[in-house]
Amino acid sequence: MIPAAFEYAAPTTLDGVIQTLVDNEDDAKLLAGGHSLLPLMKLRLAAPALLVDLGRVPDLAYIRDAGDHVAIGAMTTEYALESSDLLRDRLPLLAEAAGMIGDQQVRNRGTIGGSLAHADPASDLPTVVTALRGEIIATGPNGQRSIPAEEFFQDIWTSVLDPTEVLTEVRIPYVAGAAQTYEKFRLRAADWAIVGVAISATRQDGNVGDISVVLTNVGPTPVRAKGVEDALKGGPVTREVIATAAEKASDGLEPSGELKASPDYKRHLARVLTRRALERVLIPA
C-alpha cells in the first residue's frame, strides 16, 4: 500500500530536530532506521503529517567504553552492536540478541534508539536493555533526562518519551563476571520473537549472585520474571534447582494470543526458554 501524504524534514543538528518537534508537536514522528515505522505507514496504521529524519544529525552513532558502563548512540545500527568487539567482550547479551534481529539488511539499517523508542513488546532490544538494567537518555527542549529502562516502556508502542524529546543515548552498566544469553523462539530466522528471554547472572562461591531475567512478547512491555530471580538468587546451582525456578517464568503471565501462538503456548515457551537460558549461563559446559 501507499502511505498517506506527509511532509519531510532532515535537520542537520540535534537542536534543529528538537525545535522541529516543538514546532510540530502533534504532527511529527521521528525517523531512525525506518523498519518499524514505514511498514506501519504503508498499512495506514500510522499517518504522521511530518517525518523528521535523524539520519543527518552527526555523532549519534557510537559505542564507547565509559568506565563503569558502555555508552551507545541512538543511531547505532543493530549490525554495529552485533559486530562490536567491546560488546562481545563486556556485554555479550546485547551483541548476541542484535545478531538475531531480522536479516542482514534489516540490521544494517535498524537502530537501537529506533527499536527502543518504538516500544514493540515483540522486539528483542527493549527486553535486553531492561535485563541489563540500562538507562535511556532523552534530550528535549528542557535538556537531558535519564530514564531507567524498566520505567521507560509503558504499553504496546508506548514509552515515557515526550513528543518533543529525542532518545539520544543508551547507557548500560558493566557487571563483572556476568554470564549472559538470549533465547528466542521464532518460526523463521528473520521473524519476530514469539517468546524470548534475556538473562544476565553472576555466581559467588558456587551460588547465584546477581541475576536478571526478562521476557519478550508475553505482555505489553518487557516482563521481568521476578519469581525466577527470587527462586535462584543466593542459592546453589543444580539442574533440578534451575528446572524448578524456570517453572515460575509463567507466574502471573497474561500474554495475548496471536496467529502463531496461543496464550497457553506462550506460557509454555516462557518456561522452556527460561530453563534453557539458565542452564547456558549457570552450568559450565
Question: For residue 187, which of 280, 96, 259 has the smallest C-alpha distance?
Answer: 259
pLDDT level of residue 36 (50, 70, 90 thresholds) = confident
Backbone angles phi, psi at 53, to 5 degrees: -80, 125
Residue 250 Cα distances to 31, 59, 182, angstroms:
35, 41, 17
Give the per-residue pLDDT at 182: 98
Confidence of residue 122 (pLDDT cuts 50, 70, 90): very high
pLDDT for 35 equals: 83
Predicted confidence band at 142 (pLDDT cuts at 50, 70, 90)? very high
Of the given ranges (25-29, 94-98, 136-140, 218-222), which has the lowest mean pLDDT? 25-29
CATH topology assigned to domain 63-173: 3.30.465
Query: At residue 208, does pLDDT exceed 90?
Result: yes
- Euclidean distance between the first and the last CA atom of the chain, given in angstroms as a whole number: 50
Confidence of residue 229 (pLDDT cuts 50, 70, 90): very high
| Mean pLDDT, rounded, of the chain | 96
Per-domain residue ranges for the chain? Answer: 7-53, 63-173, 182-282
Q: Each residue of 101-111: pLDDT tens digit?
A: 999 999 999 99
pLDDT band at 189 (very low <50, low <70, confident <90, very high): confident
Strand pairing class (50-53; 28-31) = parallel
Determine whether domain 7-53 maps to CATH 3.30.43.10: yes
What pLDDT, on the 0 to 100 scale, is given for residue 173? 98
How many whole angstroms separate alpha carbon 140 and alpha carbon 112?
19
Q: What is the pLDDT of residue 28?
A: 94
Segment 72-110, tens digit of pLDDT: 999 999 999 999 999 999 999 999 999 999 999 999 999
All residues at 6 or more sequence positions from 137 whose CB lies less than 8 Å from its CB, including other chains: 144, 145, 146, 147, 167, 168, 169, 170, 171
- Contact criterion met (CB below 8 Å) for 189 and 109: no
Q: In what order do the strands lie in the sheet with 195-204?
A: 179-185, 195-204, 207-216, 223-224
Does the pLDDT of residue 284 top 90, yes or no?
no
How far is it, in rounded angstroms, from Cα 33 to Cα 23?
A: 23
pLDDT band at 1 (very low <50, low <70, confident <90, very high): confident
Q: What confidence tens digit (pLDDT) does each residue in 237-279 have?
A: 999 999 999 999 999 999 999 999 999 999 999 999 999 999 9
Q: What is the pLDDT of residue 2?
A: 87
Q: 25 falls in which pLDDT band (50, 70, 90)?
A: confident
Residues 7, 9: Cα–Cα separation, whole Å = 7
Rounded to whole angstroms, the Cα distance separating 226 from 93 reads 19
Per CATH, the homologous superfamily of domain 182-282 is CO dehydrogenase flavoprotein, C-terminal domain (3.30.390.50)
Q: What is the pLDDT of residues 4-18, one digit of tens each?
A: 999 999 999 999 999
